[in-house]
């Protein structure tokens, strides 16, 4: 079958280039690079700049409380901001170094250019060695801790070409609660009356809308996600989540949230992480995480350690089938509608992909699985890329309001 246009709303691959010196413009270790992506039809992808919470020092700006004047230029920045900006600059460099493979997407016009270049290449057979066209690279930030509670820093990221914010990761922030349980007395547990997001959190949301950024609620608490969907002036996405009705995991969306997201024009990107999608796969993962051989793995930095851990995980874990991913896609379509479901693989941020969907070259196998289930060709195209393309195209058309403008 011909390879559909694929839009993957979340991958964690850029750390490999920054920390290990791997060129994502060539085939290498890990789950995604631009070459294998093109073989799989990858026309657009969000490169997530994820900063481990370990980079947040106790003295970092924003680590304790929201500054009195979040608009002011910070006297200094801490580890979270600097680490994230390094990842952002690495994504920019990737596009600059491989103009034949990639295009840094900042605007709707850039995204349209990436789509046009793929269409000019013509439909491909998924067995071809090389793809055609250029992959649109959208730079995202995973976790609002990278802002260090500063709207000024948000503007700096915008100027550097970032266009998506995953509001929170698994660590609670002074202004937003994550999907993880809140321990009694946790200093970052926002008041319950704030419904998971403080007044400053709403300010962040409003600024994202004004600048033309995509708002991402994956990792958010249910309450925070509801606020984001209700208050955002543009459609919101959940970049890499599953369906809680099929697997009870806090990272997954309830049917109520799926419906609310769809009613607001948003899209859920179904993740490929077995630990989110299957109780059985999650139990297997837990056993491996407790394995002394796994725990003994070390590397020269956290990224190399993770890569070695994933290689071990993939060797010893029982396989789970890509039909598990298709199950979550089918359920999300049943609940939210075929116009509101897409992909967010989390490649290079997951220990293993499902059997048959191990790398970015394998996207067409998922499209074939959906077709076997009776999805129409139009709905396969929507899920594989069309729905995310619609939301990003709409949001990136926003004309940014100058920093410091009244009411912003």
Give the span between the Cα atoms of 42 and 136, in whole angstroms: 9
Q: Phi, psi (5° rounding) for residue 177?
A: -100, 135
Residue 232: which CATH number?
Answer: 3.20.20.140
62 within domain boundaries: yes
Tally of structural domains, the chain: 1
403 within domain boundaries: no
196 within domain boundaries: yes
Question: 40: Cβ–Cβ under 8 A, 6 or more apart, which residues?
Answer: 3, 6, 126, 131, 359, 360, 361, 362, 363, 364
Pairing of strands 42-50, 135-142: parallel
In sequence order, the β-bridge partners of residue 289 are none
Of the candidates 133, 131, 145, 162, the residue with the CA atom closest to the CA atom of residue 46 = 162
Q: What is the pLDDT of residue 121?
A: 60
**Which stretches of the chain drop beneath a pLDDT of 70?**
1, 121-132, 189-195, 399-408
Give the span between the Cα atoms of 238 and 160, in whole angstroms: 23
Cα dihedral 393, 16, 366, 320 in deg (nearest 10)? -140
70 within domain boundaries: yes
For residues 283 and 318, the answer to whether their CB atoms sit within 8 Å is: no
Of the candidates 306, 255, 258, 249, the residue with the CA atom closest to the CA atom of residue 277 = 249
Rg of the chain in Å (alpha carbons): 20
What is the extent of the structural domain holding 362? 6-395
**Per-residue pLDDT reduced to its tens digit, 85-134:** 999 999 999 999 999 999 999 999 999 999 999 877 644 444 333 446 89
Q: What is the pLDDT of residue 125?
A: 42
Q: What percent of the chain has pLDDT over 70?
A: 93
For residues 168 and 142, the answer to whether their CB atoms sit within 8 Å is: no
Give the span between the Cα atoms of 270 and 335, in whole angstroms: 13
For residues 387 and 378, the answer to whether their CB atoms sit within 8 Å is: no
406 within domain boundaries: no
Q: What is the pLDDT of residue 407?
A: 34
**Per-residue pLDDT reduced to its tens digit, 365-389:** 999 999 999 999 999 999 999 999 9
Q: What is the pLDDT of residue 404?
A: 45
Q: What is the pLDDT of residue 342?
A: 98
Give the span between the Cα atoms of 254 and 251, in whole angstroms: 10
Give the span between the Cα atoms of 11 and 320, in whole angstroms: 20
Q: What is the pLDDT of residue 128?
A: 39
237 within domain boundaries: yes
335 within domain boundaries: yes
Q: What is the pLDDT of residue 394?
A: 97
183 within domain boundaries: yes
Q: What is the pLDDT of residue 63?
A: 81
């Amino acid at each position: 079958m011909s390879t559909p246009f694929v839009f993957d709303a979340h991958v964690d691959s850029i750390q490999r280039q920054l920390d290990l010196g791997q060129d994502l413009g060539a085939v290498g270790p890990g789950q995604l690079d631009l070459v294998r992506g093109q073989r799989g039809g990858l026309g657009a992808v969000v490169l997530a700049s994820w900063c481990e919470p370990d980079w947040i020092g106790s003295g970092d700006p924003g680590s304790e409380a929201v500054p009195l004047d979040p608009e002011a230029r910070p006297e200094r920045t801490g580890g979270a901001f600097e680490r994230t900006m390094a990842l952002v600059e690495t994504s920019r460099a990737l596009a600059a170094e491989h103009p034949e493979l990639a295009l840094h997407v900042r605007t709707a016009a850039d995204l349209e250019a990436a789509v046009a270049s793929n269409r000019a290449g013509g439909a491909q057979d998924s067995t071809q060695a090389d793809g055609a066209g250029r992959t649109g690279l959208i730079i995202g930030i995973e976790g609002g801790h990278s802002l260090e509670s500063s709207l000024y820093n948000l503007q700096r990221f915008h100027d550097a070409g970032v266009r998506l914010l995953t509001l929170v990761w698994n660590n609670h922030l002074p202004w937003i609660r994550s999907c993880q349980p809140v321990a009694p007395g946790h200093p970052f547990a926002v008041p319950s009356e704030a419904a998971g997001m403080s007044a400053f959190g709403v300010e962040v949301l409003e600024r994202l809308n004004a600048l033309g950024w995509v708002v991402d609620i994956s990792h958010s608490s249910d309450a925070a996600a509801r606020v984001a969907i209700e208050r955002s002036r543009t459609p919101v996405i959940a970049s890499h989540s599953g369906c809680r009705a099929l697997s009870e995991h806090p990272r997954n969306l309830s049917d109520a949230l799926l419906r609310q997201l769809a009613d607001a024009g948003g899209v859920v990107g179904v993740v490929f992480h077995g630990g989110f999608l299957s109780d059985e796969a999650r139990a297997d993962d837990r056993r491996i995480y407790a394995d002394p051989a796994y725990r003994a793995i070390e590397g020269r930095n956290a990224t190399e350690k993770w890569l070695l851990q994933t290689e071990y995980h993939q060797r010893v874990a029982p396989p789970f089938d890509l039909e598990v991913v298709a199950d979550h896609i089918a359920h999300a379509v049943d609940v939210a509608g075929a116009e509101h479901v897409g992909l967010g693989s989390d490649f290079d941020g997951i220990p293993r992909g499902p059997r048959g969907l191990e790398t970015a070259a394998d996207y067409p196998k998922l499209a074939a699985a959906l077709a076997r289930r009776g999805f129409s060709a139009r709905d396969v195209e929507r899920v594989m890329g069309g729905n995310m393309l619609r939301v990003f195209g709409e949001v990136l058309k926003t004309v940014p309001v100058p920093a410091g403008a009244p009411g912003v």
